[in-house]
Structure 1
Amino acid sequence: MTISVAVSGASGYAGGEVLRLLAHHPDVAIGAITAHSNAGQRLGSLQPHLHSLADRVLVDTTAENLAGNDVVFLALPHGASAELAARLPERTLVIDAGADHRLESEAAWEKFYGSAHAGSWPYGLPELPGAREALRGARRVAVPGCYPTSAQLALVPGFAAGLLEPDDVVIVAASGTSGAGKAAKAHLLGSEVMGGMGPYGVGGGHRHTPEMEQGFGRAAGEPVRVSFTPTLAPMARGILTTATARVRPGVGAAALRAAWESAYAAEPFAHLLPEGQWPHTKQVLGSNHATLQLAFDEHAGRVIVVCAIDNLTKGTAGGAVQSMNIALGLRESAGLDLEGIAP
């Protein structure tokens, strides 16, 4: 059976990446392709790399244009998905790549996003404990943020195994500029970004902080406090996350490595590298894979975990397609059988 799939926000980076993956998915036919301000334009004029879809014309992002498909991907800015999703049939699998349905806490949503909370949906990071069970048969899925994807992959195994303390977690992550979206912004001009790096959202203000705390707390069974600092790197795609946490008394290097090995041994897209080999964003470019490595800093009593992902693939569109596959009972890796690109 062929599954009809619609993609909104198709002129942006996330929507374009969803289409890139779906174009090679063996079980889907691409239905409506929508945008807002770019409606009426030929897709190839905005996403010239999508050769097989280049002559498709974008239509307006409305519930009427999206309805009638088996699956709808919403690749929209935060605040734009909830109202649209509410107008789509309950039988339709709606996958929200925006932030509207990620957070369970109404207070956290209102504090960081400043609008009414739309509720939470099953969380589309299959590698987390219990996530696949929640996704199977789901008709609404919230795709994680790109930073929380890498951060949770980095530290959840330690929290789930009861090895980490919950009150001193530090995440520092560098992202490529595509994470800021496709709209023109002066601080993202090539002349501003090339040749240097800088932080933003410093001091606990980044909107992905409560999402990380939610995931860590769920794995740990208790609240977890996170200090998160994002940085902008002079590259188009990729995230390199360095996550550290204090280990509980008596926990050593062997126990830490065993926990991460156990968590990812059977995972198709998350890989703990051999000892001595460290993640690099080029290892995962264009793929749905995440590479990880850890070390035990005995002097500081902390575990350091480094995770590399492509923010547009595993961090957004790849995770969305992976979640769709699980929800519909398809082969989990369908449409995602892509290795990284080198050099």
Structure 2
Amino acid sequence: MHLTIIAGARPNFVKIAPIIHAISHHNDQGAAKIDFCLVHTGQHYDEKMSGSFFKDLNIPLPDVNLNVGSHSHAEQTAKIMVAFEKHLMNQSTDCVLVVGDVNSTMACAIVAKKLGVKVVHVEGGLRSRDMRMPEEINRLLTDSITDYFFTTSALADTNLLNEGVTADRIFMVGNTMIDSLVNSLDKAVMPKVEHDIATAEYILLTLHRPSNVDDAHKLETLIETIDRIASGVKVLFPIHPRTASKLTNIERFDNIEFLSPLPYLEFLYLMKNAKAVVTDSGGIQEETTYLKVPCLTLRENTERPETIEIGSNQLIGNDLVALEKSLTAILSGNWKKGEVPPLWDGNASKRIVDHLAQLFN
């Protein structure tokens, strides 16, 4: 069989890396060979996504880069669709595999379906119920035309079943982002920062959602609150230059050390050794759950409720009082231990490849 794998943003590559490894292992076993083409839409350009990034994940550079770049949602989606259609019309394939919920996921799924190619969605069935999130729109549209779903949890299965998807098209396999984490834990690299992360406690902070970073006053208030609550515990904040530009006089914060965006293995080191993580990221909610690191999510909802119901995560929303109360509890050692959800064991990608081999061979 021939598989076309789509990735458009940095987290996508973290999710597809173990699938590529599982394909290689499958082919080495003498089974019916799975050929693949890795397509990078170029939705996000990140200097850290150079050769070293792919080396960290131990995957080949993309076979194709559509180089669409950053645009408005509509223009970016259109550019991806036009470019991917040209590629797919010149490259026959048995199915197109998309991951996650970025614009590339939706755009390439639509193109494939209109050309009569089967669509497989890894992380199908996630729902935040918040239509203000572009990612939620992408999930719903992608899943409405997907042929086969590889899900991370029973909750995702239930979402799909409730939307009319038949059970024979749904395969609960686990979480490929956790596969990458498991495969990389012993390779994590201590980054060079001013704080003594080898011996002293610290909090890891990440922010990227427009609702948290686009309003300069809101961002300043949030950072000031975290700085005050930390009360002598260092807060390490890998921050995008665009977000940093909204803060006035970053030197005035007593407890926050601002860092440049980090390579995958360096960020992993900070995350697994943190006293707590404060974030608005979906993937980090999953990774901290596996690592059993306390996580406070600055969002009003999550498409990954198992990280709260089972794991170490807690939704905070915009409630700065709740943020202070929860972070104080964590720093005092009073936080739920959390458990790892079923099948988040590092073998999701093998299950995916086994199913693909049965479905398309």
Largest Rg, 1 or 2: 2
**Structure with the largest fraction of helix:** 2
TM-score normalized by structure 2? 0.40
More strand by share: 1
Under a length normalisation based on structure 1, what TM-score does the superposition of the two structures give? 0.42
